[in-house]
């Protein structure tokens, strides 16, 4: 057999070993059925990785628009049983508040990530840390991208309502600017950078799989997260090289810089959530929202001094705390948050 023939034979054998793209794309299977393919990220063609991630994202969005839940599970209960929320089909008479949308978004994303074997097989303690620290960040980035794709001016619920009722703006008095930044800044950055849907899909994984979110993660968990973060980063770089060619390095760096924005907005949203709990201690937070937005044990990673000036942060707290006395004048039925 000639050298050329041998090379052709080897190429054919390599093609046989590649995952079946038609199987992944066209057959209506659950994500778990092709998890083994998803985990071989370096061996998958770029478009196949995008297909897997887009199908997972589609299912999250589909659940948000077509389902609801009257259950109130904790994060511990969700990690123990992914189906504990018992989602029901949405009917025309169902009206969800912004708070309920947040709960359903967080729940849907947690379930989606648990479909990855390398996440599901982490130690329980590590999974809890991972979702405690990251759920708010993923909700913000996902919501910002939805805002951009729907061509809206600011972050809104999936059904087009303001994420903050007017009474919340009243409670925070002179802090309305902070609330508006939470609703607008991240989506504005996505627009400025003209972030594509494919880039967003990769960024969601890269930001979520950050092994440095907590020193309490086990060494094994840190190694696993770093390994798969590297693989998704590799595919994002491939996408940048394919799309932007010689500008790929700068594009790649600009995209990763969005993590700083996500952390900053997440920190502010957590502050708002914690202060709201102080102002209205009887408000019935969904337990999953409380576990991932309010009672997470510690604040998100500290902001850099040049990101949010200390006087601005201090003014935010002072203005907010001055409004606590006025809360008694607000009827609880108005407090749909």
- C-alpha distances (whole Å) from 256 to each of 240, 317, 320 are 12, 30, 32
The secondary element (H helix, E strand) that includes residue 12 is helix 3-17
Number of domains in the chain: 1
Residue 148 lies in a domain: yes
Residue 7 lies in a domain: no
Whole-model pTM? Answer: 0.77
Residue 3 lies in a domain: no
DSSP assignment letter at 68: E
Spatial distance between the Cα atoms of 250 and 236, rounded to a whole number of angstroms: 13
DSSP assignment letter at 291: I
Q: What's the pLDDT score for residue 15?
A: 40
Strand, helix or coil for residue 137: helix
Residue 149 lies in a domain: yes
Backbone CA torsion sign across 15, 17, 23, 25: negative
Spatial distance between the Cα atoms of 47 and 198, rounded to a whole number of angstroms: 10
Q: What's the pLDDT score for residue 318?
A: 54
Spatial distance between the Cα atoms of 27 and 5, rounded to a whole number of angstroms: 35
Q: What's the pLDDT score for residue 293?
A: 85
Residue 179 lies in a domain: yes
Which position has the token pair 């999974």? 127
Q: What's the pLDDT score for residue 93?
A: 84
What's the token pair of residue 148? 């951009």
CATH number at residue 67: 1.10.565.10
Q: List the pLDDT tens digit at each of the 337 positions of the chain.
A: 444 443 444 443 444 343 333 233 333 333 333 344 344 555 568 888 999 999 999 999 999 999 999 999 999 999 999 999 999 999 888 889 888 999 999 999 999 999 999 999 999 999 999 999 999 999 999 999 999 999 998 898 888 888 887 777 778 776 778 888 999 999 999 999 999 999 999 999 999 999 999 999 999 999 999 999 999 999 999 999 999 999 999 999 999 999 999 999 998 888 888 888 888 888 888 999 999 987 754 444 433 334 444 444 455 555 555 544 444 444 434 444 4
Residue 26 lies in a domain: no
Q: Which parts of 158-309 fold into alpha helices (H)?
A: 166-171, 176-193, 197-208, 219-244, 248-256, 258-279, 287-289
Residue 6 lies in a domain: no
Residue 58 lies in a domain: yes
Q: What's the pLDDT score for residue 144?
A: 95
Domain residue limits at 129: 44-334
């Amino acid at each position: 057999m000639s050298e050329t023939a041998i090379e052709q034979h080897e190429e054919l054998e390599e093609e046989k070993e590649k995952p079946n793209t038609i199987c992944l794309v066209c057959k209506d299977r659950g994500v778990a059925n092709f998890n083994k393919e998803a985990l071989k990220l370096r061996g998958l063609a770029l478009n196949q990785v995008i297909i897997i991630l887009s199908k997972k994202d589609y299912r999250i969005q589909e659940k948000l628009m077509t389902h609801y839940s009257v259950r109130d599970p904790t994060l511990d209960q969700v990690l123990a049983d992914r189906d504990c929320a018992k989602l029901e089909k949405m009917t025309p008479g169902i009206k969800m508040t912004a708070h309920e949308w947040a709960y359903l978004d967080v729940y849907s994303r947690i379930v989606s990530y648990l479909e990855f074997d390398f996440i599901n097989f982490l130690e329980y303690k590590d999974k809890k840390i991972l979702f405690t620290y990251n759920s708010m960040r993923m909700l913000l980035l996902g919501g910002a991208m939805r805002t951009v794709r729907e061509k809206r001016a600011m972050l809104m619920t999936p059904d087009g309502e303001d994420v903050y009722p007017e009474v919340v703006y009243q409670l925070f008095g002179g802090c309305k600017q902070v609330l508006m930044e939470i609703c607008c800044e991240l989506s504005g950055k996505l627009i400025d950078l003209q972030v594509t849907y494919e880039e967003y899909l990769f960024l969601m994984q890269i930001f979520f799989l950050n092994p440095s979110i907590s020193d309490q993660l086990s060494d094994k968990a840190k190694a696993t997260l770093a390994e798969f973060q590297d693989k998704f980063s590799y595919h994002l770089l491939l996408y940048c090289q394919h799309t932007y060619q010689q500008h790929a390095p700068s594009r790649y760096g600009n995209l990763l810089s969005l993590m700083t924005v996500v952390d900053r907005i997440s920190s502010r949203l957590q502050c708002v959530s914690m202060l709201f709990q102080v102002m209205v201690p009887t408000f019935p937070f969904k337990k999953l929202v409380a576990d991932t937005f309010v009672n997470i044990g510690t604040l998100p990673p500290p902001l850099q001094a040049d990101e949010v000036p200390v006087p601005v942060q201090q003014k935010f707290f002072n203005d907010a705390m001055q409004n606590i006395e006025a809360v008694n004048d607000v009827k609880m039925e108005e407090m749909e948050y």
